[in-house]
A and B are shown apart, each in its own frame.
Chain A
């Protein structure tokens, strides 16, 4: 597609439930990133995929968070046993080349997650 697509755009879930957030990167983009934007906070790095390399998971806040990228394209971020502090906007971005940040990222519109 023309841009990075994220679904759903909004998700309300009950505390303790699992959620899956989806990201469709721009076709051909080899790198994919997940960030979290909490109210009044900056963007917090979560995880980064580059081609077939092992992902950089250094930003995942706990073992309740996991992500996968199938076929080098679509990515799913899973949060298990959600907590209220998980409420945030989850942003996905993709980039074209290995040194992706030279070109900046293309961001999706995000998924707003609310845990009640």
Chain B
């Protein structure tokens, strides 16, 4: 069975500062990896995904994530954040074969301070 650990429940940063949201997963098989974002009072939106190929994945709103198989990590980064990036961010994993469901982490609340 897979699991996802988001190491930080809350991350406060100042506007225009860089940010990294950490995600580690465990799985005995090859996986797909995702980051979803939930803005206040809104539903979840897909931010980016890793399916195969290049380990550096670029998503919407200037976010990117790097798949590191040896460290079983998929950390999310942005070089300069904006107030509008304030949201909850969820990392998720799915087996490439078999089970179709996504397993989510606990979420990281990113708060951008002016």
Interface of A toward B, CB cutoff 8 Å: 31, 33, 35, 40-45, 48, 50, 56, 59, 91, 93, 98-102, 104-105, 107-110
Contact = CB atoms under 8 A, between A and B. Distances in A.
B43 A91 contact: yes
29 contacts: A31-B100, A35-B104, A41-B106, A41-B107, A42-B4, A42-B90, A42-B104, A42-B105, A43-B102, A43-B107, A44-B104, A45-B104, A48-B101, A56-B101, A59-B101, A91-B43, A98-B100, A99-B96, A101-B32, A101-B34, A101-B94, A101-B101, A101-B102, A102-B49, A102-B51, A104-B36, A104-B46, A105-B46, A107-B45
Given A41-B106, A42-B90, A42-B105, A100 B100 contact: yes
A91 B44 contact: yes
A110 B90 CA distance: 16
User: Closest 10 A-B residue pairs measured CB to CB?
Assistant: A101-B94, A43-B104, A42-B106, A104-B46, A107-B44, A109-B43, A42-B104, A107-B43, A48-B101, A42-B107
A56 to B, nearest CB: 7
Given A43-B107, A99-B96, 8 more contacts: A31-B100, A33-B102, A41-B106, A45-B103, A45-B104, A93-B44, A107-B44, A107-B45
A108 B92 CA distance: 17
Contacts, number: 63
Interface of B: 4, 6, 9, 32, 34, 36, 42-46, 49, 51, 90, 92, 94, 96, 99-107
Nearest to A104: B46
Contacts of A110: 43
Nearest to A31: B100
Contacts of A48: 100-101
